[in-house]
Structure 1
Amino acid sequence: MSMFGGTGGYFRLDSWILANIVQLGTQRFCRRFLNRTNDPCGRQYDQMTQAARSGCANIAEGSARRATSKETEMRLTDVARASLAELAGDYLNWLMQQEKTPWGKETPGARAVYAVRLDAPAYGEDVVHDACAHILAQKKKFAEWLDADSDETMANALLILIARVIHMLNRQMESQGETFKEEGGFREKLTGIRLEARAQQQQGAPVCPECGKPMARRTAKSGKNAGREFWGCTGYPECKGVREMEGAK
């Protein structure tokens, strides 16, 4: 049994790739349309860019923490989902401030954005470089909307991309939950490893001369025999039966 699982490989997750496109698009939107008149303190700028960053960062961190904690992976994935939901709320509020509503799902613009599909990543040995190049290449597929001069077009396109990322994260969390149910988390694996090691240690163990229970390997912690292995009763402390271990040092 392995104590550590894989790190998840977030560079290959479509959710992480698309979340990066959302972050890049949000940064452009904020630079382009937020100013001293509609955002005099810069608070809206900070909130939107930080929410977009949180979406990316928590997907990555959750995937990296998969090795030691399935619970943490699920929690951080949920934080990413919540951050992106907050960002979607900001875009909806922006549109309503302009007396506009988001595109309906069946409108031509919405259908066009939904129709764009991401290519499968094909990375070489330099994964970081290749992943960044892949994100920029995929971002170009949405250039018609993300490079637009219309705040309405950008906001609507980003709302759709955010919805797509959230849908991906929902599916990831379902998969993470199933894996946790089947394999357990780090604590469960650690317990399993301990039990497995204990069972291996006790193979061929004698029975206690005092009570007849199976004995387990022990190591003396003090006295003249400190560090020396011996057989101790598994009924300890009720039973203090011991046996010398043949060949013990």
Structure 2
Amino acid sequence: MELFRKSAGYRFLDAYVLANVVELGTGHFCSSFLNARNDPGGRTYTQMTHAARSGCRNFAEGSERLMTSYATALELLDVARASLCELRDDYNKFLMMNWQAPWAMDSKEARRIYGVRLDAPDYGNDINRGICLHVMAQFRKFEPELSSEDGIARANTLLILITRTLNMMDKYIKNIGEEFVEKGGFRERLGTVRSEARTQQNHEPAEAPKCPKCGSPTRLRKTRKDNKPFWGCSDYPACRGIVEYLEPEKSLMPLSKA
């Protein structure tokens, strides 16, 4: 059993990419349509940009925390979700302040935004640069709406993107909860891994056998496919000699000859 759960895969999720698009779009929206007349003191500007940032950053932080704590991860993901819900309400309020309602789901405008499919990420070796380029490319898929001088169109577009992000995030959180129920948390894995290590230590011979190819000491390893123990040459990969691992009362049988 692996002790640490891999977490970096979240950056390939559409939910994470869309959360970044929403953050970018919200920053541009607030800069374009909030001013001293409709937002005295800049409180709404600050609230909306912070909510967009929280939705994106807590998504990332929560996913990273999956390595060692499901509880902390789920709490942070819940904060991300709540922040996007708050941002959704801010866009609804903007529309109502302009005596507008959100686009109907079956309207031509809404169907276009719902129908846009994101490209599969290909970040290459430089993942930080790759993420930025990918997010900007996905942002452009929702133009001209996200670059429109019509604040109503832009607010409606961001509302739909927030809804799409929340739907994906709900599935992500549900899957994490089911994974926790099935596999247990970090402390359970910690106990299991330590127990397996003690069992292995108790069954190891006092001395490791020599490599049948080069005569170097061997080390106890496990196969990737079925996690079975075997003795592998300490000079691997220069030498690939191996010795079959048997119970202590049995003899050691080399699998390859010198």
AA aligned to 1:11 is R
How big is the shift at 1:93?
A: 0.7
1:198-213 equivalences under 5 Å are 198-200=198-200
How big is the shift at 1:140?
A: 0.5
- RMSD over aligned Cα atoms: 1.5
Q: Which residue of 1 aligns with 2:103?
A: 103
Asked if the contact 1:9–1:64 (Cα under 8 Å) also holds between the matched residues in 2, the reply is no
With 116-125 and 2-11 compared, the bigger mean Cα shift is at: 2-11
How big is the shift at 1:116?
A: 0.5
TM-score between the two structures when normalised by the length of structure 2: 0.76
Mapped to 1, the partners of 2:66 and 2:160 lie a distance apart of 28
AA aligned to 1:70 is Y
How big is the shift at 1:194?
A: 3.1
Asked if the contact 1:12–1:121 (Cα under 8 Å) also holds between the matched residues in 2, the reply is yes
Note if 1:32 corresponds to 2:32: yes
How big is the shift at 1:69?
A: 1.2
Mapped to 2, the partners of 1:123 and 1:60 lie a distance apart of 17
Mapped to 2, the partners of 1:123 and 1:74 lie a distance apart of 26
Asked if the contact 1:25–1:158 (Cα under 8 Å) also holds between the matched residues in 2, the reply is yes
Note if 1:157 corresponds to 2:157: yes
Mapped to 2, the partners of 1:185 and 1:82 lie a distance apart of 24
How big is the shift at 1:64?
A: 1.2
Give % identity: 50
Mapped to 1, the partners of 2:154 and 2:75 lie a distance apart of 30
Q: Which residue of 2 aligns with 1:139?
A: 139
SS of residue in 2 equivalent to 1:149: coil
Mapped to 2, the partners of 1:180 and 1:8 lie a distance apart of 18
Mapped to 1, the partners of 2:125 and 2:201 lie a distance apart of 42
Aligned residues: 204
1:171-190 equivalences under 5 Å are 171-190=171-190
Any unmatched runs of 5+ in structure 2?
A: 205-258
Asked if the contact 1:8–1:66 (Cα under 8 Å) also holds between the matched residues in 2, the reply is no
TM-score between the two structures when normalised by the length of structure 1: 0.78
How big is the shift at 1:202?
A: 5.7
